[in-house]
């Protein structure tokens, strides 16, 4: 691969080669590189799935525990066309998404607001930091039974769990982002005449935004974890419930199928987030495209 | 206070400024520092690196307050940030998420002007620094010299009566720096502001200023003051070859050199 690229460039650097020729050669090399990357990506996936399928069929691994890609695909197809034993798949997915999104949105907003507030107020930060440290040291999933006991089997307990999963990540990044805001830029804004509130709104928050966005990328995944763990522990609907039921009936294909669904959703959310971020961050320098 | 003459733009009277180091030790940055800047005067402050030059500027803005002594702006003691002051920073202090024109509009908007007013005034100032075509660019798309011109427009749009500059051009290459000197002198002669220009570049100080303050190695105090009697308007690119410029340069450097050596010896020890 590398050799091929090098050959093309050295070959086109003979004296008298026009810029257009060099550019054409570079474009060709880039296209070839993209094709190679796509080829290997697909190849590895296909190889992995085939190996799994063959291993299951040849009984190298026990399909009862490990299932096979074909049975997982079959189960997905069945869920999509006929619905699950607990009702339509879409409804379960809808419930899990509703919990995750609500937890994600409330958790991020609370994290950003409190993170920025404490980041701006040194005294408050010193006082509350110890409590935040203590609460942060609790593994979040142990709160699931408590939330379910207090808030019941419905939506509220899962949203609460997703909220605490998201809140701390976003809070920490927002706080750190505010602390890292450039001192010269802050001094500049103040001398230009910014009040405290103007300073927070038009300098501190925008400059903390890249930190905050970094946390939002991870924390949607955390929100899904919160919702699904909540559903494991006790619920009437949701993808977590499907996994739990599949586990109860030793339905390996069902468990993997549920995982595939969550994977697709998480990737979709990540994609949307990147889209929003690149729209908001159009002021940032574009990285130079690597063609070699 | 004199009746017939307005009070000087800036007075620092026997000012000291101490910091607490992270380990809780007290460090003195300025000691018995006295300086007067008349209205419309261009003062340059030179001294060895790290001697506390920038501290003097922070005292005038009100971002820092003196441990002892008095700082007066337009005859009145400094209380908080004075709206008549403009500041040009050494580092890039533009807001990278705003376009060039939004950066220039920041000051008027912060000060409660309407958006239309701010924009009209910003367009005017961008034209004056020759960046009208770049209004919709983001700072990262501009060169270092262009970013500095945006910073100048951002500062001058507020109509400052006092202009503080903290090694503003030290990050620029030599040719761009000379162009920026011309630009600054032109804007200054139109705006009639009083300027304090902190730099470690002695030639820059002599080429621009009416008065050059030489500071001692830290803790900084005024070692000597030189009045630069070169005619204005000055052409910065050519002035450095004139005999009187060279004489000033030699005299002041002899003075500054001792402090630089002291500072260097201390850092090496």
Chain B: which residues have CB within 8 Å of chain A? 61, 63, 81, 83, 85-87, 89-99, 106-107, 110-111, 138, 140-141, 154-155, 158
Chain A residues in contact with B89 (beta carbon < 8 A): 184, 187-188
Using pLDDT thresholds of 50, 70 and 90, give the confidence band for residue A1.
very low
How high is the pLDDT of residue B3? 54
**Mean per-residue pLDDT, A213-236:** 91
- Identify the CATH number of the domain defined by range A72-280: 1.10.3720.10
Q: Alpha helices of chain A — where are they, by DSSP H?
A: 2-12, 19-57, 63-66, 69-82, 89-120, 122-136, 143-151, 155-179, 183-192, 196-199, 205-233, 239-248, 252-280
Using pLDDT thresholds of 50, 70 and 90, give the confidence band for residue A171.
very high
| A103-122 tens-digit pLDDT | 999 999 999 999 999 999 98
What mean pLDDT is reported for chain B? 90
How high is the pLDDT of residue B121? 95
CA closest to B142 among chain A residues: A285
Out of A79-83, A144-148, A233-237, A285-289, least confident range: A285-289
**Mean per-residue pLDDT, A258-269:** 91
If one counts every other C-beta atom within 10 angstroms of the C-beta of residue A41, the result is: 10
Of B214, B207, B197, residue with least CA distance to B240: B207
Of B188, B230, B233, B192, residue with least CA distance to B211: B230
CA distances from B160 to B9, B85, B109 (A): 12, 5, 15
Using pLDDT thresholds of 50, 70 and 90, give the confidence band for residue A14.
low
Radius of gyration of chain B (CA): 19
What is the DSSP code (8-state) at residue B220?
B
Domain ranges of chain B: 1-84+161-169+190-238, 91-159
**Mean per-residue pLDDT, B156-185:** 91
> Which distant-in-sequence residues (6+ apart) come within 8 Å of B134 by Cβ?
B100, B126, B141, B142, B146
How high is the pLDDT of residue A13? 59
If one counts every other C-beta atom within 10 angstroms of the C-beta of residue A30, the result is: 15
Interchain CB distance below 8 Å, B106 and A195:
no
Of B107, B113, B102, residue with least CA distance to B81: B107
pLDDT at residue A187 tops 50: yes
pLDDT at residue A51 tops 60: yes
Overall size of chain A counted in residues: 292
Interchain CB distance below 8 Å, A193 and B61:
no
Q: What totals of helices (H) and strands (E) does chain B contain, helices first?
A: 8, 10
**Mean per-residue pLDDT, A217-245:** 91
How high is the pLDDT of residue A2? 44
Let me know: does B222 contact B228? Beta carbons within 8 Å.
Answer: no
Phi-psi group of B37: left, alpha or beta (phi > 0 → left; psi -120 to 50 → alpha; rest → beta): beta
CATH superfamily membership of B1-84+161-169+190-238: P-loop containing nucleotide triphosphate hydrolases (3.40.50.300)
Backbone angles phi, psi at A284, to 5 degrees: -80, 145
How high is the pLDDT of residue A4? 45
CA distance A84 to B173: 70
pLDDT at residue A288 tops 60: no
pLDDT at residue B143 tops 70: yes
For B189-215, give the DSSP string. HHHT-EEEEEES-HHHHHHH-SEEEEE
**Mean per-residue pLDDT, A241-261:** 91
Q: Which residue of B96, B121, B140, B142 to mutate against A (max A Cβ within 10 Å)?
A: B96
pLDDT at residue B2 tops 80: no
Interchain CB distance below 8 Å, B89 and A188:
yes
Interchain CB distance below 8 Å, B95 and A209:
no
Of B255, B217, B260, residue with least CA distance to B31: B217
How high is the pLDDT of residue A5? 46
pLDDT at residue A9 tops 60: no
Interchain CB distance below 8 Å, B107 and A207:
no
Beta bridge partners of B224: B214
How high is the pLDDT of residue A113? 95
Let me know: does A67 contact A260? Beta carbons within 8 Å.
Answer: no
CA distance, residue A184 to nearest chain B CA (Å): 6
Using pLDDT thresholds of 50, 70 and 90, give the confidence band for residue A290.
very low
Q: Say whether the peptide bond before residue B233 is cis (omega within 30 degrees of 0).
A: yes
Domain ranges of chain A: 2-61, 72-280
| B81-134 tens-digit pLDDT | 889 999 999 888 999 999 999 999 999 999 999 999 999 999 999 999 999 999
Interchain CB distance below 8 Å, A191 and B87:
yes
Beta bridge partners of B33: B15
Of B79, B80, B32, residue with least CA distance to B56: B32
Using pLDDT thresholds of 50, 70 and 90, give the confidence band for residue A18.
confident
Is A264 buried (19+), middle (13-18) or exposed (0-12) by CB count in 10 A? exposed
pLDDT at residue A12 tops 70: no
Least CB–CB distance from B110: residue in A184, A187, A198: A198
In sign, the C-alpha dihedral spanning A158, A159, A162, A163 is: negative
Let me know: does A138 contact A147? Beta carbons within 8 Å.
Answer: no
How high is the pLDDT of residue A291? 38
Radius of gyration of chain A (CA): 25
Out of A81-85, A134-138, B207-211, least confident range: A81-85
Overall size of chain B counted in residues: 269
**Mean per-residue pLDDT, A146-160:** 93
Let me know: does A143 contact A164? Beta carbons within 8 Å.
Answer: yes
Chain B residues in contact with A194 (beta carbon < 8 A): 106, 110
| A58-105 tens-digit pLDDT | 989 998 888 999 999 999 999 999 888 888 999 999 999 999 999 999
pLDDT at residue A198 tops 60: yes
What is the DSSP code (8-state) at residue B131?
-
**Mean per-residue pLDDT, B219-248:** 90
CA closest to B165 among chain A residues: A188
How high is the pLDDT of residue A279? 83
CA distance B209 to B172: 19
At residue B88, the 3 state secondary structure works out as: strand
If one counts every other C-beta atom within 10 angstroms of the C-beta of residue A11, the result is: 10
pLDDT at residue A7 tops 60: no
Interchain CB distance below 8 Å, B110 and A195:
yes
pLDDT-above-70 percentage for chain B: 99
| B32-79 tens-digit pLDDT | 899 999 999 999 999 887 777 888 898 999 888 888 999 999 989 988
Interchain CB distance below 8 Å, A283 and B86:
no
| B9-44 tens-digit pLDDT | 999 999 998 888 778 788 888 888 999 999 999 999
Chain B residues in contact with A208 (beta carbon < 8 A): none
């Amino acid at each position: 691969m590398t050799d091929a690229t090098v050959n093309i460039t050295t070959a086109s650097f003979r004296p008298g080669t026009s810029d257009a020729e060099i550019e054409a050669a570079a474009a060709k090399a880039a296209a070839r590189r993209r094709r190679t990357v796509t080829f290997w990506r697909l190849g590895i996936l296909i190889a992995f799935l085939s190996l799994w399928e063959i291993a299951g069929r040849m009984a190298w691994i026990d399909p009862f525990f490990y299932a096979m890609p074909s049975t997982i695909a079959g189960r997905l197809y069945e869920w999509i066309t006929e619905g699950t034993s607990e009702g339509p798949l879409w409804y379960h997915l809808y419930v899990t998404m509703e919990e995750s999104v609500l937890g994600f949105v409330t958790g991020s907003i609370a994290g950003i607001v409190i993170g920025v507030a404490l980041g701006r107020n040194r005294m408050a930060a010193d006082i509350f930091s110890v409590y935040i440290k203590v609460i942060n040291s609790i593994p979040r999933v142990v709160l699931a039974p408590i939330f379910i006991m207090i808030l019941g089997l419905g939506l509220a307990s899962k949203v609460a769990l997703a909220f605490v999963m998201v809140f701390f990540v976003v809070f920490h990044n927002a706080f750190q982002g505010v602390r890292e805001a450039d001192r010269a830029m802050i001094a500049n804004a103040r001398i230009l005449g910014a009040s405290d509130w103007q300073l927070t709104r038009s300098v501190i928050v925008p400059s903390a935004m890249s930190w905050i966005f970094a946390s939002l990328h991870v924390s949607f995944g955390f929100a899904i974890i919160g919702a699904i763990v909540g559903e494991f522990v006790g619920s009437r609907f949701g993808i977590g419930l499907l996994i739990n039921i599949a586990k109860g009936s030793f339905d390996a294909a069902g468990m993997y199928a549920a995982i595939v669904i969550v994977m697709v959703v998480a990737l979709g959310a990540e994609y949307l987030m990147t889209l929003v971020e690149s729209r908001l961050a159009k002021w940032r320098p574009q990285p130079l495209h690597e063609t070699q | 206070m004199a009746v017939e003459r307005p009070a000087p733009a800036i007075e620092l009277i026997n000012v000291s400024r101490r910091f607490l180091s992270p380990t809780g030790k007290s460090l003195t940055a300025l000691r018995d520092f006295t300086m007067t800047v008349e209205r419309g005067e261009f003062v340059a402050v030179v001294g060895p690196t790290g001697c506390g030059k920038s501290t003097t500027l922070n005292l005038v803005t009100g971002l820092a307050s003196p441990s002892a002594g008095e700082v007066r702006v337009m005859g009145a003691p400094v209380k908080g940030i004075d709206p008549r002051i403009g500041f040009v920073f050494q580092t890039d202090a533009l807001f990278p998420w705003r376009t060039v024109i939004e950066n220039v509009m920041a000051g008027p908007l912060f000060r409660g002007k309407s958006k239309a007013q701010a924009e009209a005034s910003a367009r005017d100032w961008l034209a004056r620094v020759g960046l009208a075509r770049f209004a919709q660019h983001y700072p990262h798309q501009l060169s270092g010299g262009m970013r500095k011109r945006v910073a100048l427009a951002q500062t001058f749009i507020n109509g400052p009566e006092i202009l503080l500059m903290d090694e503003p051009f030290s990050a620029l290459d030599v040719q761009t720096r000379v162009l920026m000197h011309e630009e600054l002198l032109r804007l200054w002669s139109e705006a009639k502001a009083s300027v304090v220009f902190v730099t470690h570049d002695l030639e820059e100080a002599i080429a621009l200023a009416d008065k050059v303050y030489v500071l001692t190695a830290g803790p900084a105090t005024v070692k000597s003051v030189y009045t630069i009697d070169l005619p204005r308007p000055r052409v910065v690119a050519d002035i450095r070859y004139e005999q009187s410029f060279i004489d000033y340069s030699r005299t002041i450097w002899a003075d500054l050199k001792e402090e630089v050596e002291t500072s260097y010896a201390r850092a090496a020890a």
